[in-house]
Structure 1
Amino acid sequence: MSDHKRIDCMKCAYFYVTWDPQFPKGCKAFGFKSPQMPSVTVLSSSGKPCMNFEAKRAPGTR
């Protein structure tokens, strides 16, 4: 098993949902769309967890 901490893309400021049914999830930091969560794609392609995670700001904060 992997000892990497799982990154929750849904809580990342760079995550977005696309209109592409084949690639419904995207990452603005890396500039790609994927059929799976972007953090899974990054881990499988680089062997390292995503280093661009940035937590979303709470609603109403600047």
Structure 2
Amino acid sequence: MTSNVGGIDKIARIVVGAVLILLALTGTIGVWGWIGVLPLATGLFNFCPAWKLLGVNTRKPTR
């Protein structure tokens, strides 16, 4: 599994995922809020399977 998520993308995924889960826990948006597990996990693991399929990479190249 090669890292393909980096920088602002990683932070955005973690924040959005956490907010969606929090809203689901409080009952504000219902069961659909649990979809926040996906962006949270991809942000924490630095890997997005969908972006791998699409050939997208937001991680800065290593030297």
Give the alignment's TM-score, normalised by structure 1: 0.30
Greater helix share, structure number? 2
**With CA pairs under 8 Å and 6+ residues apart, which has the higher RCO, 1 or 2?**
2
Greater strand share, structure number? 1
Give the alignment's TM-score, normalised by structure 2: 0.30
CA radius of gyration, larger in: 2
